[in-house]
Amino acid sequence: MLPSAPSRRAFVAGSAGACAAALCACTTYDARPAPPPAPAPAPPSQPDAAGAADALAGASDIPVGGGAVFPDRDVVVTQPTAGRFRAFSATCTHQGCAVGEVREGTIVCTCHGSRFAVEDGAVVEGPADAPLPERAIEVDGDQILLA
């Protein structure tokens, strides 16, 4: 008789064991703790309990004929003429950059050079082709408030 070769039954049993081991090796469990949940987004500015609107700037901080950009509030406040304040979205209507500055009577988006009028947010120079949307504000003494 020939030296004993593995029997067919032993070969099948061995193969099944090897496959089971391979499957187990491919299954991993991540024992690391789950990452902490992302912090909740800050709630939008709300009037306080007394109903007061959100203070934005002092009126004296806004130059006559010019304005100031508040990028964290997505608003640009202008004062086209003494004591007359206007506010617009600070998001450029061209491709959504934040407008960068107020210069020479215009609100300037430095991404591609669009300029908007401090008077009404109208396009003075493209490529933007739509005005900046107006934002509601209130003037209370020397305070400019987001309505």
In the complex, minimum distance from the CB of residue 66 to ligand FES, in angstroms, rounded to a whole number: 19
Piece of 35-43, 77-85, 112-120, 139-147 that binds ligand FES (CB under 6 A) = 112-120
Which residues, listed in sequence order, are joined to residue 64 by a DSSP beta bridge?
79
Which residues, listed in sequence order, are joined to residue 78 by a DSSP beta bridge?
67, 86
The only residue of 62, 128, 137, 144 in contact with ligand FES, by rule CB under 6 A? 128
Strands annotated E in 61-114: 67-70, 75-81, 84-89, 101-103, 106-108
Residue 84 and residue 77: Cα distance in Å, rounded? 10
The contacts of residue 144 (CB under 8 Å, 6+ apart) are: 55, 56, 57, 58, 59, 62, 77, 85, 87, 137, 138
In the complex, minimum distance from the CB of residue 51 to ligand FES, in angstroms, rounded to a whole number: 35
The only residue of 59, 68, 97, 139 in contact with ligand FES, by rule CB under 6 A? 97
In the complex, minimum distance from the CB of residue 129 to ligand FES, in angstroms, rounded to a whole number: 10
In the complex, minimum distance from the CB of residue 72 to ligand FES, in angstroms, rounded to a whole number: 18
Which residues lie near ligand FES (CB under 6 A)?
Answer: 92, 94-97, 109, 111-114, 127-128
